[in-house]
Every structure is written in C-alpha cells, then in structure tokens.
Chains A and B, each alone.
Chain A
Amino acid sequence: MKKLGDMLLERLPFSELVMGNTGVVRGMVEAGIRVVTSYPGSPTPEIAAAIADIPVEKRPFYFEFSVNEKVAVEVAFGAAMNGRPSVVFFKSVGLNVAADTFVQLNHMQIPGGMVVIIGDDPGAHSSQNEQDNRHLARLSYTPVLEPASPSEAYSFFLEAASLARKQQMAVMLRLTTHVCHAKERVSFAGWKAETPDDSPVFSGESGANIPIGANVALMKKRALERLSSAKNTSLHRVLSHKNSERGVITAGLPFLSLMDALQNSEEKPDILKLGMVYPINEGIVADFLASHREVLVLEELDDFLEQAIKSISCTLGADTTILGKSSLDDWIGEYTPARVKEKLNRVWPGVVQISRLPYETIQTPARFPQMCPGCGHRSAFYAIGKALGENDISVADIGCHTLGFFPPYEIGQVLMSMGASTGIGQGLSLFNSERRVVAFLGDSTFFHAGIPGVINALFNKHNLTLIVMENGTTAMTGHQNHPGTGRNFSEAADRIPIRNVLQGLGVKDITEVDTYSQADLTAAVVKALDSPGFSVVIAKHPCMLKFTREQRRKQSFKAKHVEVDQEICSLARVCIDRFGCPSFNWNPETREVVANPDICIGDASCIQTCPAAAISSFTSKEVSR
C-alpha cells in the first residue's frame, strides 16, 4: 500500500479503504481547496491526521489548527474573501464557539466559497451534548448536505465545494460520528493538480460586505436568494419497493440503519433519502407524499425534517399521514440499526422481526474511561484532593482532566463548555464566604477560551483559585500542538508560556508545580485557597501517553514497571482506592495488590502514595515494538 499522504495526491482515479474523515481530505485535494482551518475535536481530528500525512511542501493547501473554532472560521472566511476556496472543520459544539462569525457568513458574498464541515455527535460519544446543528444552519441560511457513508462524505464534499464556489457562499457538510469513523473502500476520481489561481481578488467596493444600516436588509435578501437556489441538488434518491401505502423519508446514517433493519422484511416501504437536508426540496417531498398513504420521517436527534415535511404537507393539503417522533426517547441518541428496528416495529408492527435480545446472568462490571497509567493528572487530583475541604466547590472544564470527576477522585462538580470553568467559579464565589471555589482548566483550553475568564477575574476582583492542568498538548483529541507547545501544525513557532500570559495580565499569585511532586502541589493549593483574591496554580506534567509513544517511535523506550513487595504491603490499598492507577489489580483470593506489567509504564508516581513503602520500580527486559 502506498503511504496515505501519497495516495491522497494520486493523479489517476483509484480506490482505497478509508474512513469518512480521510475521504473528505481527498475531496479537498480534488476540489482545489487552498485554505483549511480547524480546532481539534472528536469526531473530526482524523481529518487533520490525514492532512498531516501529506508533507507540508507537497500539500496543495494551507492548513492550520487555529486557536479556537471562531478564529478558524474567520481565517477560512478571510481567505475565501480573497478568492481562495476554503474549508473549516470542527466538532458539533465547536459551532457554538464559532457562531458569532458563522451566522454572518452567508450575508457575505464569498468569492472563493467555503465549506464548513461539522462533526455532529448523536449519542454524545465525546461531547457534552448531542446538539443538532441543522438548527444553526437554518438560522444562518446555510445549505446542509448530509452523507451516510465514507463514499458519500467524499462525493458530498465535492458537491458542497462546487456549490459554495458557484454561489460564492458557505455550505455545511454535516457529518456524524459514525460517518466520520466508518471505513469502506471508496472510489476516487483523478486529480489534475492544476496550478491554483492565487490572484488576490478581494474587493472592498461599495460596502457590499459591511452589514450596517440598510445594507443588512440587502445582504439578508442576498442570503435568502442564494439559499433558495441551492435546493436543486441531485443528491436525493428514491428507492422504490413498489409500496404505495408506506414510505420513509430519511437522511445520513439513519438511512443505512434503515437498510439494515429492512434486510429481511417482506413489506419494505419505499424510501426517499435526502442528500441535502436544508433547504428541503419541496417538489421531491411533495411527490413522495402524494404517492404514499403513510410516510415515516426517520431522523436522528430533533424533528427538523419532520417539521419541514409537515409544513409542506399542510400547504399541499395532502391527506398523507405523517409519522415522526412519538416519544421523548425518539429525540435522544443515535439511530443505530437496532433502534431503527424498534422504531419501525412501533410504527408499523410486523414490518420487521425483532429478535429477542440476550440477557446477562451476572452483570458485567461497568468500566469508565480513566486517566492513563503515569498520567500527571492522576497525581494532580490525588494531591489536590488532599487540599480540598468537604465543603469546597470544584468546577471542571473540558479535556482529559474532566476524568477527575470519576471515582476515586470525584473532583469537578459542574461541567459546562470550553473555558467556562473560570467564569462559573467567579459566579459561585459571589455572596459565598463559606465555601471556597476552585476551577480547573486545560492548557489548550486556556488559549482557546480561557483567557477572557481570567481577565474578568482580575478586572472584577473575583475570589477564585484557578488550577491550570498543563500537560503540554491537546491530549484528549489526539495530541495536537497548541500555542504553549512551541510548534504549530506544520512548523516550529515561538512558545507562548501560560505563566507569561498570566503575568502579563497582572496575575500576582502564580505557583507552578510538577504534579509528580504531590506534597508540593497539595501545599501550593492549600496556600492558594487560603489567599484572598484570584490565584493560579499551574499543575504541570507532560502527557505520558504522548511521551511514551514518542519514545517508542524513536526506539528509545525502556520498559519500566513497579512491583508491590507483598512482605511489606500493609493492604492500606491507597494505590487502588485513592490514587486509582489502573495498573494495580486486586487479587481477592490471595488478598494481594499486584501491579499489572501489561499496562504499568514504571513512571513511579505511585511510590510516594504508599504508606508502607511497599512499591518499587525496576527496568524490565521487554522488547520494544
């Protein structure tokens, strides 16, 4: 197999087994996209991973991880205003951060055209909600294409890019988690690799892009006109099963779930699969309604299509019965094949066979995500836990350190959104002299959305302790660089140290501690909590997962482990019950705590937690892979 980066630049048509996120990158290459921006967030970061596989000098477009989604949209918009076809991609809730700029996009005439790729997350696999971003598209007059598979992610991207360029507008490609991460063999077209026309076409004439006064109405009208002309896409499909009684209107991954659910059905309904879910094509929907007695609208999350289809039906005066969401549960979670079967069975009993689900005789123990062996956050939460009183309030934020919520640490009692902890902590501290407040913030998040909260704390003299959990990377989403790391996506860049930023802003009380120095960290937090006003503790330790992976790559990895001396162990079980490293297993038969060499990395941060000093570390003979 060729290297992924070479394959993405292949001149001749080819096919390859790829995930949806990779498919859209080939789309970017073929479509002649010139500028791509993003902020990392699941389910989309593998788009950047595929881009990273193309060496910078061969990359046919510029790519950056911007500091946050709003800036990413702005950079892509600026480039497109100068005639560069651009793309911005990020996760579902990233659109909230970007919204102030995003909602304006289609008021503008955008010469290069823009594709906004959104990774929505039905089922909230790695997001704080499962928001349905079709609503924000509607609010901003942005057309939405919704692919069901990697093949469609690629071909719909090309359609979106072509529409965006032709209409000089922004178009949304709405992916969902299991479209981003699904893998199949995709057939790609050739790539001509034409020299791009980089003439700077930006025009500032006659205030056409200044939404002030009467211009706003003109710009809004222009947006509505373009939206309406976007409807004539050829991406819709009708699958006829010659059923004039029953039809299903669906889109995206639920379509594939429906195909699965109907596999052995003897009364298959006809299916209208919408490729563009906003604006809806009234003509196609009206024809489908007219030719069926009952139509089920099958859509994940909110009743977006259902409302539009009911409205079309109402205007037509059609006597088709429209079935849609019938319980609150229908609004929640992913429409997997099993869910769709269950839904079909409720709507049209007997259309599909529901097999009896297996049952458990003994319940499987629940397994929560947890910090990796050696994670600096574990030492941090263990040490900070000792500094916090029963009554103190802890505010969580987004990142690996969110996992501090789980036992045994249970630190972080409210979690909102990126960088929100600092502001929330300030509010909690008002009219509150009894309960001390501590807020947590990751380092990438500090740059992303954390700084305004810090300035507010200083400006309005709030009483709060902020703990910056600095691991030197954007860990949860796959170790992307951020402004504090000294490297951007493509090259070295001057490091912006968090401490310097804080000092520059005028924070007086700053303590920096390596989290492995657990006693020092406890002392620093005790002191910060006791001092009035705004104080910051930077609890730092490099992400050990990134560190060990890099060592393995460089073949410099030395396998180390810890072991428990059973003669000395007093069964205080601090390593398990309070420190909570997953490397320690409990053997109920021998009543022994044993370190699991399969996962222990020998970081030795546990040694200091053992009251009996029974843990020691050693270098193993393991061969590196």
Chain B
Amino acid sequence: MPGCSDKLLHFKGGVSMNIYITGVGGQGIGLLSEALLRALDRAGLAVKGVDTHGLAQRGGVVVSQIRTGSGEFSPLIQPGMADLVVALERHEAYRALNGFLRKEGTLVYYDTVQQPFNVRNGSVPEITVETLHNECRRRGVTVFRVYRDDLPNPRMQNTALLKVILDQSLISELTSRHLEEAMEDLLTGEALKANLKILSTT
C-alpha cells in the first residue's frame, strides 16, 4: 500500500495500537490528535487517523481515532478495542471507557467538566471521579487523572495530556523529539512556545 513505511514490512499485517481520543467540541481534540498522529508518523509507524468534523464540533462529543499497524485496515476503532483512551473531559472519559476501551486498557483524562444539559439541569447526576475510577477498577483499566492549576490557559489542557502520555510512556514509540517536531508542524509563534514549554517542563 502506498504510504506504508518500509520499516514495518516485517509485520504480517494488522493493527498494533488503537488510540481513541475524545472530548467536547472546542477543547482542542483536533490539535491533540494531529500532533500525536504526526509524531507517530515521524517515529516511522504507519498510522491512520480520522476526526469528527461538522455538526458535533458545536459543543457535542468530538472523537479522533488513531491506529498504527500495517497492511489495509479501517481508520475506525471497534467498540471495546481501544488500547488507550485519551479524554479531555470527565463525562467523555466515562463514555469512551464504557464504549471503546478494551479490558485492561489505559485511560488518561483531563479532569475538567463540561456538564451535558441533562446534568446541568439536575435531571441526571454528574459522573464523579469516584464513579469513573470505580469503573476503571472493574475493567482492570489503568487510569491517569490529569489536572494542573499552573496552565496559563485552559486551551492548553490538551498539551498537558500529551505531556503525561509522554512521561508515562503510554505509547511506547512516542518520543519527545517527535512530539516537539509535530508541534512545530502545527503551531507557530507564541502558541508554539507556550505549548513546547509545557512539554519540556519536568
């Protein structure tokens, strides 16, 4: 297939990692997934990705999917088959955990809440940290809760998540060099500087 990296020809074909990225429209899921996709591509993996566009971007559930592997396969991850879920919001972390994460997979989420309307108006309860973590335990899922009060801007929560993915080696092929290069592909000026700073701070 055109576009397959030569390094991977020893694979018999198939998918080696499924990464399911989710959050609420407007949270910067597109940037996060594009940075990851480009970093993994730079690391020499054959990657496929797909993003939500259109209607849902207006405050709805937004999903990006990244798959690495070789041969011919769909960009879409099957329910219960994601190895890693990256969520920018707690309710969406819970939704993806239930719908897409495999048993004993990994969840990393930014602990902010954008309540769906039914939660805001009090007709259904908010998904609490406790509910989420209990469910992770039941499924044997390793969970990383990310929350930082030192971010200069809430729009950098996505980069804060990338930092944890990197530091905890949640994607084995991901290196800080490739991630920084990917960021340089996507951002310029002050925005680039601020985001690189988050990635490099220990």
Contacts and interface: CB of A to CB of B under 8 A. Distances in A.
A588 B126 contact: yes
Given A185-B47, A576-B120, A585 B113 contact: yes
A155 to B, nearest CB: 8
Contacts of B114: 582, 585, 596, 598-599
Contact of A181 (B50, B55, B79, B122): B50
A284 B120 CA distance: 58
B117 A42 contact: no
A185 B77 CA distance: 18
Contacts of A337: 74, 76-78
Contacts of B112: 598
Contacts of B5: 185
Contacts of B94: 364
B79 A358 contact: yes
Contact of A151 (B2, B58, B77, B155): B2
Contact of B191 (A126, A255, A596, A625): A625
B54 A125 contact: yes
Interface in A309-354: 336-338, 341
B166 interface: no
Nearest to B34: A183
A214 interface: no
A476 B55 contact: yes
A364 B2 contact: no
Interface residues of B, number: 80
Contact of A183 (B26, B48, B127): B48
B55 A126 contact: yes
A477 B59 contact: no
Contacts, number: 219
Q: Which of A125, A337, A400 has the most CB of B within 10 A?
A: A337
B146 interface: no
Interface string B123-138: 0111100010001001
B176 interface: no
Contacts of B122: 586, 588
Interface of A: 1, 15, 17, 19, 42-43, 45-46, 125-126, 149, 151, 178, 181-187, 253, 255-257, 259-260, 263, 336-338, 341, 355-362, 364-372, 400, 403, 406-408, 476-477, 545, 555, 559, 573, 576-577, 580, 582, 584-586, 588, 596-599, 622-625
Nearest to A598: B154
What are the 8 tightest A-B residue pairs by CB atom distance, in nearest-first order? A126-B54, A369-B60, A42-B54, A185-B3, A623-B152, A370-B59, A598-B154, A1-B185
A588 B125 contact: yes
B71 A259 contact: yes
11 contacts: A19-B51, A43-B53, A125-B54, A187-B3, A257-B74, A362-B131, A364-B127, A407-B117, A476-B55, A598-B112, A623-B194
A178 B67 CA distance: 14
A366 B118 contact: yes
Interface in B92-108: 92, 94-95, 98-99, 101, 103
Contacts of A408: 117, 121
Given A151-B1, A263-B15, A355-B80, A256 B56 contact: no
Contacts of A359: 98
B202 interface: no
B153 to A, nearest CB: 5
A374 to B, nearest CB: 11
B75 A178 contact: yes
A178 B76 contact: yes
Contacts of A577: 121
A151 B127 CA distance: 41
B55 A186 contact: no
B149 interface: no
